[in-house]
Structures are given as structure tokens and as C-alpha cells.
Structure 1
């Protein structure tokens, strides 16, 4: 048979599929042998001949065309449908008359299940957390979704591999948010959900490793860096241990509480009663004397002193623990 057979059109459901077979390509050769299944699974939106039957014989363009012949729309993900003999035979009418058909009649019914996966609260939480983590500024914020509400478990089709997320409320310190999730498969939307989720945000901050007393100078062994919930975090919490080493506590602080900048101070270099060397330098002139400190002072502070010899009151700026530079302004 050398003349071309006209193109055949098959209309199924709401879609129109045109399949072309050219008899001249195969002459009067036998088509592939077809062994039907009793049960089958599909992943896409259509049930095709290749889903319910195994075609035996040399692989050819004809075999591929028969495999792709649509029978009917697939059921919803996770559900099953019955494919009847009449539906299969109707699909096979697209095979040209000139092709010999060495296959047995199809079973009266074949049960076909569409593959799917159950989407639960845990996976939704991971998706929302990943979206938030990706869009938060900085890299030291940890995200955890503790609870998901206002949704029912759904079964997604196997081809649903991507998801877009929209969160309506701005996330500052976490809390309850409303999230919209849209799942896509093969470039098409497959499922849309709106859920409520409780989001906790954590930041790595410096906390006390032990009880710290007032006026205790901070050492490295006094500190830990731990994640703390932003809702419980004071605005002046310290994130870098190096910023607090050598400083001292203004108040007592319990173990595992965050260190705050407002609770720390630089230890004074001199305190009331200390005897220091007071110096005055002008050009090549240098004068010094001993004086008693009358008030606590840190480096650069202006403090009051009394000259031990003359008992005259002086003022100067702290240079170090044993030296004050006379202030004559």
C-alpha cells in the first residue's frame, strides 16, 4: 500500500489530538503485538495506550505512535478510573487499516490509578520556611515553621515539582502569617492552597555561659553564641563576642540570657583613692607630681585629683591606670 493515508483526528474530552500514520512507511507489515495489563498507573493527565498495554516487537515509529494514542483523561491524583474495552478499541481506530493487528481483544475493564503524593503539614512547613529563608536579608537568621493550620491534606500529581509562595504579612520577628502556595507541573498550575503558619525566627547572639555578677569583667569562657527567638531578643543584643571581651557588667546577669550593649561598660582605669602620676608637658617642659584620684575614671575621662604635696585640687584626663595628664584649660 503505497498511497499516503489521510491524517486522522481524535477528539477526547476537551482536547483535540491529531495523529498521522503513513501506511507507505510500513506497507502491509504487522503491527506490534499488544499485551494488555489488568491494572496500570499513570503520572500525567491522560491515559494512553502505552499505559495499559505492553507493545512487543521491534521498536519503530509505529510502536511509538500507538503508545501515545490517548484513551481518556486520567483521574485525579491518587484516585483510580476504569478503562473499558470499548474505550481502548475506540483509541485504536487511529491505527491505519493497512496495518495488520496481531493483538488479542482488550480486557473488559482495566483499573488505572494516577500517581500522586500526599501533601501534609510538614512538607508545607518546609516549603514556607525555605521561601522565608531565601528572602530574608543577611545570613544569620534561622527559620522554623512550628505549626500549619487551616488546610486539608491534598494529593498532588506526580508531575507537580515546583511551588511559588506568597506571604501577605511582613515578617519582622516572626509569628502567625498567611501564606498562598501554588504548585506547578509541566508548566501548568496543578494545585492552589492558602494556609496559616506560625513562624519562629532565630538569630545567633552572645549569651552568658554562667551567672555574671555586677562589675565582673567579661572573659571568653563566660560566653556562648546561641540562637535566640527574635520575639524574645532585646534590640541591643550583642552578636559578636569580640565586642564584649574586657568589658564589665553593670548589673547581674543570669546564665543563657543575651548580653546587651546597655548592660556593659568599659572598666574604669582609676578609682577614688588611687595615687597616680600627674604630668604636664609643654614644648620641652615636663612637670610631674603625685596626686590622689577623687572619682572613678576610664581612659580619656576628665577626673578630679588632689596634689599630695600642696593639697591643691587639680583636673586631668586619664591616660592609663597610673597616669593622668594635667588639664589646665
Structure 2
């Protein structure tokens, strides 16, 4: 009976010690694996602080946090040194601090859908009224995009030397809490739809195109090339330099203007310098259109010259 009473008394005594420890001036419990949420590691973010003696220690800075998705180690001895420098009364605080603490950064992954939404918003602003004719066909990411946890903004950096058409490499700059945190490159395939000129019939080389031979169709301009004509006015009356396939986009380099002068035509050669103007009869050595460089013969001196076509009967030459 006396033994049972002694055991009961001992158990009650141990229980009172545990209660006193919890209710003491303060306690710090720091796990071996923790997660930081901000740019710096604060004690209050990674440790459990209990009691009045630890109330002012929550903002104690222990060093910079690792980048999003990465980790770093923190020595327990350095944590104790930081507590001492902060004026903590370690004699009044019960603490559990491992020799080494692994600190990870709280992060989030920016999904492909989120990147697409960012790019679509950028295109709507950059293209203005033309955004209605644009389509973001695909987005290619360099890999998972991880940034620190929290609300973020993203800025799109377009290329300076090419239009937003076809496959375009775009920069993305992410900011969290007004601080730049990550920059990546993504590839966007941008389609812009608009009218292109097509021939409504098979056109042979040397044929002159009439307005009735042409129409426009709505096509993806990223698939047609930059030299494709978009207005039938730019094609009507021109001559095909090569056969044209029906309903295939017509390029500017496939057409030439009708010649204003032809080989063998008698033309007026004009040479001007200041107020001096000299004319002579000449002969065209080749076909040429207005503004084009051609070879001509001076019929008086029998010399071959080079000039530019002014109109159907005049060639300007230098002297």
C-alpha cells in the first residue's frame, strides 16, 4: 500500500514539473525542416514561440531566404548567437534547436495556362484594335517556372527587331511584393489573320493581271510570308514573272510593272546639272519601267550610257 502511494506521488510530481516548464517565461521550438515565406528568414516564421520571454523575438532576422524552390542550411549555433545578440535571456527560455536546420523557400509554380493568360493580355494591349485578328496558337515554356509564394505581377518584354507574328521569343519578368524574382524566356506562336491577294485562275508567265483575275481571302499572315500582297490594287495591271497557282497567295516579287519603254524604242536622253540642261536622241537597249535603271545608246555619240526611266519617252542620264 505504501509503495502504491509513493508511485502515485512521484507521478503527480513529474506532471507538475512538465506543467511548470510549459507555463514558464518562454519556449522556442525550431524543427529541423522549415519553410520561409519571405525574402529573409525570420525566427517567428520558422519557429514556435511560446511565453512572454519570446514575444519580441518573432522579427529576429536569421539571414536571407533561399530562392524559390531551393533550400539552404542554417546552423543551430548561429541561431543561438543571434538570440544572444538580440538580448534574449536564454536562462529563462527553454529551447529546442537542432544542430542544422534545412530552410526551404515557400514557392508557387506559374502554370502554362497562367502564362497564356499573361501573354493574351499583353497582345490585347500591344495590338490594340488589331488584337481581334490575332490568335495565340501555342506557348512553349523553358521548364517549370517557380517563383516565391504570394501575389505576383508579370511584365512581357517583346523583341525589338521583329513584329509580333509567327514564332516569337518573349521575355517574362516576374515580381513578388514589388521585388523582381525571376526572368524567363518563352516562345509564343502568334497568328494574325488578314486579307491576302490570290489569283482566281491559273496565270501563265508574262500574263497581265486584270482586276477580275484577283480576289482577297482571309489567311494567317504568319504562314504567308512578309512579301504577300494584301490589296488587289497592288496586283492589277502587273505582269506575272512566274506562273501563279489559283488561290495561292500572290507575292510582290512574283509581279512586275508593265514596261514604260521597250528595247529599241527611240527616247529622249536628258542630262541636267544646275541650270544646265542637255538633250540628245537615244535608243533603249532594254525594257524598263518608271524609275528603273536601264542601258541606252546616245544616237549622236554612239556611246552606251546608263540612265533612269522618267516616262514612256524620256530617260535621265548623268554627265
**What TM-score does the superposition give when structure 2 sets the normalisation length?**
0.47
**What TM-score does the superposition give when structure 1 sets the normalisation length?**
0.46
